[in-house]
Amino acid sequence: LTCLIKESELKIGTQLGDGSFGIVHKGEWNRSDGVIIPVAVKVLKEDLVQHQAVYDDFVREVEAMHSLQHPCLIRLHGVVLSHPLMMVTELAPLGSLLDYLHKECSHTSICSLWQFASEIASGMAFLESRRLLHRDLACRNVFLTSKTQAKIGDFGLLRPLPPGSDCYIMTEQRRVPFPWCAPESLKLRQFSLATDVWMFGITLWEMYTFGEEPWAGLSGHEILNKIDKKGERLIDPPAAPEIICNLMHRCWAANPADRPRFSQIVIELTSQS
């Protein structure tokens, strides 16, 4: 494992919050070359890697994540194979985009949101180019390393697409974020590059509503009924420019094949800004 970190190299500080799969602390990593790096340390929940098979699977995933380097992805520096496991990653001093939107609320300028949207699309286009799914794209899993830099995190238990197929049937009992899910994910537990695009549309909606909860108060069944049977979609956020509303609706096309690819979305968001 190329990215093993010894527990003795880590100094764990204050708790930053409760991320997905575990608690996150601020920390310092005393790298073997003597450089001290500010990091975030995700202490994974025990039950996550209980069984040896899951543990081995996870260690393989980490190898894949460690190899992904992109300016719009939170860098995974390595893991500490302690009990519980710890993931040592790049620190995002401004925390999650969701918390930032709630705190800053409408003080976040529309052009900052546009810049964040372009950066998220760019990070997702990189995952798409490696045929890797995120499966849990949402504002809670986007982090700010500065007021002008958003990075995607928690591409944690991403699953490489089975060779030759373009969708992944979800099996493990991982909790599914219903309000962010495409109809085919809710109906058939299918996840694909196109379902990541649907989730990007929901993430855009979260951004331009400054962190509102999509389909608040509805059950998975009620959401599926609305988006699948009735073809309903979330209300256009008043703060969203026409072009962003148009993009959201294309990401929410009922037929996955009609949704844009991230490579296309990046071109639209960067050429217009």
Ligand X SMILES: Nc1nccn2c1c(-c1ccc(Oc3ccccc3)cc1)nc2[C@H]1C[C@H](O)C1
Task: Write out the catalytic residue numbers.
Answer: 136
Read off the DSSP letter of residue 265. Answer: H
By CB under 6 A, how many residues form the interface with ligand X? 22
Rg of the Cα atoms in the chain: 19
Stretch that binds ligand X, among 13-21, 50-58, 168-176, 253-261 (CB under 6 A): 13-21
| Per-position x/- string for 39-78, each x denoting binding to ligand X as judged by CB under 6 A, each - no binding | -x-x----------------------x--------x-x--
User: Using the rule CB under 6 A, is 157 a contact of ligand X?
Assistant: no
Q: How far apart are CA 252 and CA 197, in angstroms?
A: 8
Q: Tell me how far, at minimum, the Cβ of 143 lies from ligand X, in Å.
A: 5
Tokens of residue 208, six digits:
């331009």
Nearer to ligand X, 156 or 179 (CB): 156
Residues 107-146 that bind ligand X (CB under 6 A): 143
| Residues contacting residue 139 through CB under 8 Å, at least 6 positions apart | 96, 97, 98, 101, 203, 206, 207, 211
Listed in sequence order, the DSSP H helices in the chain are: 52-66, 97-104, 110-129, 183-188, 193-208, 220-224, 242-251, 262-272
User: Using the rule CB under 6 A, is 80 a contact of ligand X?
Assistant: no
User: Using the rule CB under 6 A, is 209 a contact of ligand X?
Assistant: no
Question: Residue 21 is which amino acid?
Answer: F
User: Using the rule CB under 6 A, is 160 a contact of ligand X?
Assistant: no
Q: How far apart are CA 155 and CA 61, in angstroms?
A: 10
User: Using the rule CB under 6 A, is 84 a contact of ligand X?
Assistant: no
* 38, β-bridge pairs: 28
Nearer to ligand X, 138 or 234 (CB): 138
* Binding residues for ligand X (CB under 6 A): 16-19, 24, 40, 42, 65, 74, 76, 87, 89-92, 95-96, 143, 153-156
